[in-house]
Amino acid sequence: MQSIDGLENEISLETAFEATPPTPKRQTGKKPGRPKGKSSDQTRERILDAAERLFANEGYDGATLRDVAAAADVQLHAVGYHFGPKDILFDTVISRRSVIMTELRMNALSAARRAAVGGVVPIETLVRDYISPFVLSAGEGDRGWRTYAALMGRLANSPLGTEIIARHYDATAREYLKEFSRALPDVIEADVIEGFSAMVAAMLGLCADTGRPARLGQPKIAHRKPSDSLETLVRFQTAGFKSLGNVDG
């Protein structure tokens, strides 16, 4: 099997095939194989955190799996191993927090419905219950929620984002829309939906925290407390909804 043709050994197929094995560069600190103590859940969370941040900052195409792996301090293949293709990773990033957000909103809506007098939930309550879980999570929650809010804002008007949002958030939106229509019986559905869309857009724009408001204002403006922004937003959007009723507003 082994031919003895001295010189050609340098570039023979044989060397080409077995050159890699002899390099035992295993002395690079970390060793392969299953690590000793930690469970893989921690690795998964680290990858999701890194992906969330990179997708928010660079976009779906701008964030590479290598960036994600490096930011999570794992090898490239760990990403694919845990989450499969890139689009699945992306969807996992979204759904990790969308389930929490959906539960908060639906719980608030259930409570509001129980407390409603005459079967009608006040508009301000609807606005607040939909907006505040997101705004407060983005404003006072941990850094992960802030990043998630930026990512959702970024997704808002893109085709990919529209598809993802539909899958994760449309069901809740429809429940709230039912109540809005009940509270605004003389407003056509198209207007209610347009108001709801305006509210969501403003909410996302606020939480995306792009820095534009600070840039448009006087330099001395300090960073606002999230609760102040929330109250302003609630008042603004509530008044907007109410104005849809009377034609001679």
User: Whole-number minimum distance, CB 16 to DNA, in Å?
Assistant: 9
Binding residue for DNA, selected from 6, 21, 211, 219, defined by CB under 7 A: 21
Residue 114 found at the interface with DNA (CB under 7 A): no
**Interactions with DNA, residue window 38-67 (CB under 7 A):** 38-40, 43, 61, 63-67
Specify the DSSP class assigned to residue 89.
H
How many chain residues touch DNA (CB under 7 A)? 37
What phi, psi does 138 have (nearest 5°)? Answer: -70, -30
Measured between alpha carbons, how far is 31 from 240 in angstroms, rounded to an integer? Answer: 60
Under 8 Å between Cβ of 54 and 90: no
Measured between alpha carbons, how far is 223 from 215 in angstroms, rounded to an integer? Answer: 11
Total Cβ atoms within 10 A of residue 211: 8
Stretch that binds DNA, among 26-34, 114-122, 163-171, 205-213 (CB under 7 A): 26-34
* DSSP bridge partners of 120: 117
Nearer to DNA, 24 or 219 (CB): 24
Measured between alpha carbons, how far is 248 from 190 in angstroms, rounded to an integer? Answer: 18
User: Whole-number minimum distance, CB 100 to DNA, in Å?
Assistant: 23
**Interactions with DNA, residue window 81-110 (CB under 7 A):** 81-82, 85-87
Nearer to its own copies, 9 or 232 (CB): 232
Coil, strand, or helix at residue 91? helix
> Among DNA, its own copies, none, what does residue 71 contact (CB within 5–8 Å per kind)?
none
Nearer to its own copies, 81 or 193 (CB): 193
> Among DNA, its own copies, none, what does residue 110 contact (CB within 5–8 Å per kind)?
none
Measured between alpha carbons, how far is 168 from 94 in angstroms, rounded to an integer? Answer: 8
H helix runs in 63-188, sequence order = 65-72, 76-83, 86-115, 123-140, 143-155, 159-183
Residues in Cβ contact with 82 at an 8 Å cutoff, skipping those fewer than 6 apart: 40, 43, 44, 47
User: Whole-number minimum distance, CB 2 to its own copies, in Å?
Assistant: 25
Residue 75 found at the interface with DNA (CB under 7 A): yes
User: Whole-number minimum distance, CB 82 to its own copies, in Å?
Assistant: 24
User: Whole-number minimum distance, CB 123 to its own copies, in Å?
Assistant: 12
Under 8 Å between Cβ of 136 and 231: no
User: Whole-number minimum distance, CB 42 to DNA, in Å?
Assistant: 7
Q: Which residues bind DNA (CB under 7 A)?
A: 3, 20-21, 23, 25-26, 28-40, 43, 61, 63-67, 74-78, 80-82, 85-87
